Chain A
Amino acid sequence: MNTSTIESPPHSKNAPLASALSLVVPGAGQLYLARRNRGLAILATTPFLIYLINWALTNFRMESIAVWLWLGLALFWAWNVFDAYRLARGQTTVDWLGLILPLIVIYLISWQVTDINLDRLVKRFSDVQVVFKALMYPDLFTQVDGSWQPSENFGDIIGKIVDKPAPGWLVQLGLAQKDAKVPTPVLGKMAETIAIGLMATLLAILLAVPLSFFAAHNIMSRVPGGTVIYYAMRAFLNVVRSIDTMIWGIIIVVWIGLGSFAGTMALTIHSIAALGKLYSEEVEHIDAGPIEAITATGANLFQVIRYAVIPQIIPPFLAYTLLRWDINMRMATVVGFVSGGGIGYFVVETIYKGAFEQYAAAFWAVVIIIILVDYVSAKWRERILAGEVKVTAAAPKPFYTSLRALTWLVIGLAVFVLCWQLSEIDPRKLFEPAPTFVKNIRDFVTIDLSPDVFDTVLKQTLITIFQALLATTIGGLLAVPFSFLAARNLMGANPLAQVIYYFVRGALSVLRSIEVLLYVLIFVIWVGIGPFAGMLALAITSFALIGKLFSEAIENIDPGPSEAIAATGATGLQVIMYAILPQIIPPFVSYLIYQWDINIRMATIVGLAGGGGVGFLLKTYFDLLQYHKAGTVVAMIVVVVTVMDFASAKIRERMV
């Protein structure tokens, strides 16, 4: 938005009238001047700001800044009158003021509402020092009789070997005596976490594939009544997806109790919805040409699906599944916070006990595993989407004749069985819920909309949105300088630059591998329970993700325009202004909006670990067994997340 002029002849419009209209009803003057979008934007912004200021002043102690808030609004109002006057006379206007004034008001409110207290960051640093120190000395090995050995904590996290009675099959094979103790490996919490992530992904595929066809417009429009099913399925997937895995975790525990199985189910449910949406979009984008060609050969419907549809959708389906596996592994490290099982449960216990060295060991185990998973998943996706082109003279052999493929098959089956056991999957539990289950569900669905509850929920929801806004802003501001340091094309030849590049890249990867809830735990120790801790945690994760996305955007700059601008005799600064900035600003803004969208989802759960906002409310209601109020919170989350998701997608669509 730069300065703009109005094209219509000035004599047709009355400038005093326009400004008078805007003075009485902000935006009315602009509407009168036929500037529809501008007028509507001002018309909507003014009451919104009034409501927000009023809400903030009645709900929070912020008398000290009340003057500034009202002043901001007054200045915006004055700007709008001035704007109408200038527009009517066909003069240039100052657009950016109209944008910046409401933003100042909003940021002032967010600052107060999120309970930001920079003092505490400094004063209470001593409290958190012990955690940082522990991170340097994770409890993994102990010295026994002068030699280093894996500690008990190592066994809990990674695994250990315990003497156990010999299993039946070993006795039968004659390899062990009956009742004799044999060393048996017992896997730790990390293995359990990996199993949860893996099983959830596998189970989700099974359900998401069929569902995705019902959510694909090109398929359902051919079936009678299909359009209705299409819209219902789309809505269903969107609602399920808008409720975070962690919240599903809380809900599922009511159904099947604490444990790894509950975590697996929570991940599965959310994955089904997320994958179902991505799969269905892929089905909608298939090329109709091959379908036509195969039909023309006289093939029947099943053959058409087998030869024209499936070959087209398998690679993108696989790629999305791998991406989801990556996400599921991350979520599996924290789902134990609410549902028990996995490393998440272990982490919470260590923090409550104050056993920070044990926490540190789990922390680093998570970092290593997640970075590994991230790498494998990315490489694999790359390979699938690029699709290796093999030039061979002979026909490829069927897979079952290759020893290598058979070995992988056996390993895969063994891993599957192991994971099934570790994640404690027990479908029978689904059909044997607690006796109060039906009543709880009924409570949950009949949401409580009494003014008291609604106001409380709304208040916490607004805090959540402000938290997300501030976190995105802070994370984004921090990310800009670092993203340049993490861009390969800028950090080229010089060895020092190379070192900086690898260091920044590595640091971003480590920060990114930790789920936001694990940060919340640290910040709660540092600045205390509340929205400030949640906001800081969100800011760190935002910084890590935006930093990566920004640096990739910089790496993707097309050198052509720079060359062209330089060829006109422009200076270095002019090249940056005219060739580089225009290329990176749109993706930067798009990523920021995307991150805000993610942060709103995430902000709904930071409260589960003491990070304030709507998640804290949700956990309280669940702990107090007030399911109808919990239902209100979940309904509110669905609405807010869906609206944000839609708005962010629309805005980004228009920007690209």
Chain B
Amino acid sequence: MLKVENLNKVYPNGTVALKDVSFEVADGEFLAVIGLSGSGKSTLMRCINRLIEPTSGRIFWDGTELTALSADEMRKVRRQIGMVFQQFNLVKRSSVMINVLSGRLGYVSPYQSLFNYFSSADHARALKNLERLGLREKAYVRADSLSGGQQQRVGIARALMQEPKLILADEPVASLDPVLSHSILKYLEQMNKEDGITVLCSLHFLDLVHRYSTRAIGLKEGKLVFQGLPQEIDDAQFKTIFGQEAERVTIL
């Protein structure tokens, strides 16, 4: 279980990104995080695996207080938290295989990995994950030769290599065509249902929230303004989260 308590983040330039955010996520949930650009979704995700240090507040995961861990201890915990990014964040000039294998870095010996050495078990695992995402035949091509949707699938395969219990997906479909959005989210749903991985996923479109998530939270200007089932987001709720100007749009 993931528990966030009174989380605050103020950037050195004075921007307040998160204000007193508290919520809980049960194991096996698919939690959608919604809100406008700049509402603090990305900051929240990165505070959970402490790629960004929160200013104050506490985060518990499976009884461990993440916010109290040393850098080295946090590194070990990160192995079980996969992350998927809006811009995919692949090393473009490296092969797909190396990108996927890099998901194992937290587990392997640092000295061996310096020479690109990964065990045959890791290689087999990488191929299996690529197979699962329908990219087996692309294993040895350069990452930047793939299309956007394919690159994001490589990103998911990399996260799966960590054998995670939790996946943080930061706007995983915002850089993709609407058609591809469903393909990517279906894979995340599959991980969630079949492997029992908890998923935190920030999304823009309410349609996608209704279709995939089991629960949702809404952020506005760094504050938690909604918490509940996706179906509960009515027009009034929608305006609170997205502002009076906003209009609903549907995709596909």
Contact = CB atoms under 8 A, between A and B. Distances in A.
B140 A298 contact: no
Interface string A282-304: 00000101101111111110110
B70 to A, nearest CB: 13
Interface stretch (A65-73, A392-400, A542-550): A392-400
Contact of A394 (B104, B105, B107, B140): B140
Contacts of A311: 91, 93-94, 98
Interface stretch (A184-192, A364-372, A383-391): A383-391
Contacts of A289: 85, 87-89
Contacts, number: 105
Interface in B114-143: 114, 123, 137, 139-142
A314 B168 CA distance: 30
B102 A297 contact: yes
A391 B138 CA distance: 7
Contact of B105 (A298, A314, A395, A396): A298
Interface size class, chain A: 20 to 34
Contacts of A300: 75, 105, 110
Contacts of A306: 113-114
A307 B91 contact: yes
Given A306-B113, A307-B105, A391-B141, A297 B89 contact: no
B155 interface: yes
Given A289-B87, A315-B93, A298 B113 contact: no
Contacts of A296: 49, 51, 78, 81-83, 168
B93 A312 contact: yes
B83 A293 contact: yes
Contacts of B140: 390-396
A290 B105 contact: no
Interface size class, chain B: 35 or more
B102 A294 contact: yes
A160 B201 CA distance: 73
A298 B110 contact: no
Say whether chain B's binding surface is mostly helix, strand, loop, or mixed: mixed
Interface in A344-395: 387, 389-395
Contacts of A314: 93
**Most chain A CB neighbours (cut-off 10 Å) among B91, B92, B97:** B91
B89 A293 contact: yes
Contacts of A307: 91, 94, 98, 102, 105, 113
Nearest to A396: B140
A317 to B, nearest CB: 12
B228 interface: no
A308 interface: yes
Nearest to B146: A389
B89 A290 contact: yes
Nearest to A295: B51
Contact of A290 (B79, B90, B162): B90
A224 to B, nearest CB: 15
B118 to A, nearest CB: 11
B193 interface: no
Contacts of B97: 395
A393 B130 CA distance: 13
A389 B93 contact: no
A120 B110 CA distance: 71
B230 interface: no
Contacts of A391: 140-141, 145
B46 to A, nearest CB: 8
B52 to A, nearest CB: 10
B106 interface: yes
B103 A297 contact: yes
Nearest to A307: B102
A372 B197 CA distance: 59
A297 B113 contact: no
B158 interface: yes
Nearest to B117: A398
Interface in A308-356: 308, 311-312, 314-315
Contacts of B168: 296
Nearest to A296: B83
Interface in A66-111: none
Interface of A: 287, 289-290, 292-300, 302-303, 306-308, 311-312, 314-315, 387, 389-396
Given A293-B155, A298-B76, 16 more contacts: A287-B92, A289-B88, A290-B90, A293-B89, A294-B102, A297-B105, A297-B161, A303-B110, A307-B91, A307-B94, A307-B98, A308-B91, A389-B145, A390-B142, A393-B137, A395-B139
List of 8 A-B pairs having minimum Cβ-Cβ separation, nearest first: A298-B106, A289-B89, A298-B78, A299-B105, A293-B89, A298-B79, A296-B83, A389-B145
Interface of B: 49, 51, 75-79, 81-83, 85, 87-94, 97-98, 102-107, 110, 113-114, 123, 137, 139-142, 144-145, 155, 158-159, 161-162, 168
30 contacts: A287-B89, A287-B92, A289-B87, A290-B91, A292-B51, A292-B89, A293-B85, A293-B90, A293-B155, A294-B105, A295-B78, A296-B49, A296-B78, A297-B103, A297-B104, A297-B106, A297-B159, A297-B161, A303-B105, A303-B110, A303-B114, A307-B94, A307-B102, A311-B93, A312-B92, A312-B93, A387-B93, A389-B145, A390-B142, A391-B141
